[in-house]
Structure 1
Amino acid sequence: MSAPTWLTVDSDDLRHLPVYQGHPTRSKRHYDGEKEILSTRFREGWAGFLAWMQRHDASVTLFVISDLLEQEDFSRLLRDALKQFGTRLTIGCHGHTHRSWSAWGEDKAGFAAMLSQSTTLLKEHAGESFRPYFRAPSGYVAPWMAEVLAREGYKVDSSVNPSWLVRKKAAGHTWSEVTKAMKANGLIERPWLTTWTLPVNGPALFRFPLSLLARRAWKRTGTAFTKSEMYRVEDEKGDLTTVYCHILDFARNEGGWTPPLNLPRA
């Protein structure tokens, strides 16, 4: 029997993409859009996300980049979604910006300051839907971050993409070392689903040939759990499968794209 599935979605807008923001070598292009307002593609993706949520009964965790909450339009969209779906839609932290923390070297003080700022904003806007769950932007996570996460009150990390293709994101460490650091600091690590140690989440859903593996892997996952089963995320003895996509993905196919999953019907 397949492990139950934890559905997660990341809230990156176009300006947060690594080509524009957050990485010491990859972020070389200038974002030409207006940074103070949501992109058209994000708005289209958000509409698609809401339509998808209405068609099933699974619980979803949205990892929010909290600088979005400095914009009234996103704050309103999130407020309306939480009113509509209640705690079936939970909110985790995806950083205040899309900074690839482990790519810059150890900076516990800077990371702690960011987490404090981000957590305050998320709690203010998400209320009872906030959860102390963290996902490092682009999966750039290193062992030194575990201590800070624990000190700031986080219980779950979901940043590890245990694939050899992206091992450099652990800043010279192994994914096992990152996971051990999380456990040593009292956090539960919820790594992303892989197939044959290859990525199948996020961008991999749309990059050939990984996209072929990804769609097949997602279709084979266990049933996504509902609101009453959200306790599983913090149950260290329980096994589950973690998958993620982006709000921007829901704008694909003219707003008709949906994750290839086994979902409980609404």
Structure 2
Amino acid sequence: MEGTFSVTVDIEDWYHIPSVCSSPYAVYRSVNEFFDKWKGQYDFLTEPTKRTLNMLEEFNITATFFVVADTIEHYPGLIESIAEKGHEIACHGLHHACKIDPETKKPLMSAEEFEQKTLLAKRNLEKISGEKVIGYRAPNALVGGWMLDSLERIGFKYDSSVSVNSLYNKTDSSLKTVSSYPYYPVERGLEAGDERNFIEFPWAYYQNLLKIPASGGPVLRFLGAPLVLNGLIQSLKRGHTIFYFHPLDISCAKFPSIGNNRPFYWCVKGKLVERRIRHILKSLRSIKKLCLRDYPGIS
């Protein structure tokens, strides 16, 4: 088997998902509105994040954590504990808001607003981690080519949001020239182009008659470990690839039952999903694992 891979973790809580906050169909227009109005328990993130850190330490893995920056305010000490373990801190947006419309893929904000908010998130995360934050993952994996140009302008070195598959496309591009291994995106787009000082790390997929997303996350919860593992193994033969999950995926708590359009989103999670993650990490134990900041193409 050839290639290397990176373990990545998305740090967000249950209310960050688009059915609850910050999407065109959300219950709350923003996370700030959520905190103004929500009176119940909100922290379902801290406990599974601590278990995630213990699991990564058990496997001797240094991961890249894509962090929603507003967690700094609402979970004192949590992001610091990730950085103290030596994991890379990367950016998952200021408030996990959608930047392009899930249906039309048109921008939901100007490039100037995107850069202003993302730069604030970057600086807040850098204060906490004590390191440069150079990586970005689009909230809900909704990403447009214009966003990558903005990211490069404000000091990011890479993005990891693109998922090539036959089931859905969360980008504003056809992705005809993109596979599952790192590439340099063209300016003002997401197709593969000439070398530049910015890299895209797309997600893994399993290819048979169709290309099935196989990088982790909801696919791991709903379709199981064999598909994800086979997709990772297949993608590793093409080159470097990505595995990801959320601490929420392994939470055993019952989340509040609010949200539009996704009533079954968290119906599979907890210890079952933790066993699946452990199975994948054990199966790929011998493969070299890279923190994304240490990928050879990043300068």
TM-score, normalised via structure 1 length: 0.78
SS of residue paired to 2:133: strand
* Equivalent residue, structure 2, for 1:263: 285
Report the Cα distance in structure 2 between the residues aligned to 1:202 and 1:116, rounded to whole angstroms: 26
SS of residue paired to 1:131: coil
Is residue 43 of structure 2 the alignment partner of residue 39 of structure 1?
yes
Q: Deviations over 1:228-255 (max 9, x none)?
A: xxxxxxxxxx941111111111321189
CA contact (8 A) 1:44 1:250 kept: no
User: Residue 219 and residue 250 in structure 1: after superposition, are their counterparts in 2 closer, same or farther (change >3 A)?
Assistant: farther
| Cα distance, 1:97 vs structure 2 | 1.1
User: Residue 113 and residue 58 in structure 1: after superposition, are their counterparts in 2 closer, same or farther (change >3 A)?
Assistant: same
Matches within 5 A, 1:1-266: 1-25=1-25, 27-28=26-27, 34=38, 38-40=42-44, 42-71=45-74, 74-83=75-84, 85-86=85-86, 89-103=87-101, 105-106=106-107, 107-128=110-131, 130-167=132-169, 169-171=170-172, 173-176=173-176, 179-180=185-186, 181=189, 186-196=197-207, 197-200=211-214, 201-208=216-223, 212-218=226-232, 239-251=239-251, 252-253=270-271, 256-257=274-275, 259=277, 260-261=280-281, 262-263=284-285
Report the Cα distance in structure 2 between the residues aligned to 1:177 and 1:220, rounded to whole angstroms: 18
SS of residue paired to 1:75: coil
| Cα distance, 1:174 vs structure 2 | 1.5
Q: Number of aligned pairs? A: 240
User: Residue 176 and residue 12 in structure 1: after superposition, are their counterparts in 2 closer, same or farther (change >3 A)?
Assistant: farther
Greater per-residue helix proportion: 1
Which residue identity lines up with residue 204 of structure 2 in the other structure?
A: L
| Cα distance, 1:135 vs structure 2 | 0.4
| Cα distance, 1:264 vs structure 2 | 6.1
More divergent stretch after superposition (53-62 vs 148-157): 53-62
TM-score, normalised via structure 2 length: 0.70
User: Residue 115 and residue 35 in structure 1: after superposition, are their counterparts in 2 closer, same or farther (change >3 A)?
Assistant: farther
Higher relative CO (Cα under 8 Å, sequence separation at least 6) belongs to: 1
CA contact (8 A) 1:45 1:255 kept: no
Please provide the CA RMSD for this pair: 3.1
CA contact (8 A) 1:57 1:264 kept: no
Q: Deviations over 1:115-165 (max 9, x none)?
A: 11101101110112x430010011100111121111111111101011132
Report the Cα distance in structure 1 between the residues aligned to 2:233 and 2:177, rounded to whole angstroms: 30
Which residue identity lines up with residue 17 of structure 2 in the other structure?
A: L
Which residue identity lines up with residue 93 of structure 1 in the other structure?
A: C
Aligned-pair identity in percent equals 25
- Structure 1 residue runs of 5 or longer lacking an equivalent are 223-237
- Structure 2 residue runs of 5 or longer lacking an equivalent are 179-184, 252-269, 288-299
* Equivalent residue, structure 2, for 1:228: none
| Cα distance, 1:8 vs structure 2 | 0.4
CA contact (8 A) 2:204 2:235 kept: no
Report the Cα distance in structure 1 between the residues aligned to 2:232 and 2:56, rounded to whole angstroms: 17
Q: Deviations over 1:165-198 (max 9, x none)?
A: 221x213x21257943365663101001111221
| Cα distance, 1:82 vs structure 2 | 2.4
SS of residue paired to 2:140: helix
More divergent stretch after superposition (248-257 vs 48-57): 248-257
SS of residue paired to 1:101: coil
SS of residue paired to 1:207: helix
Which residue identity lines up with residue 231 of structure 2 in the other structure?
A: A
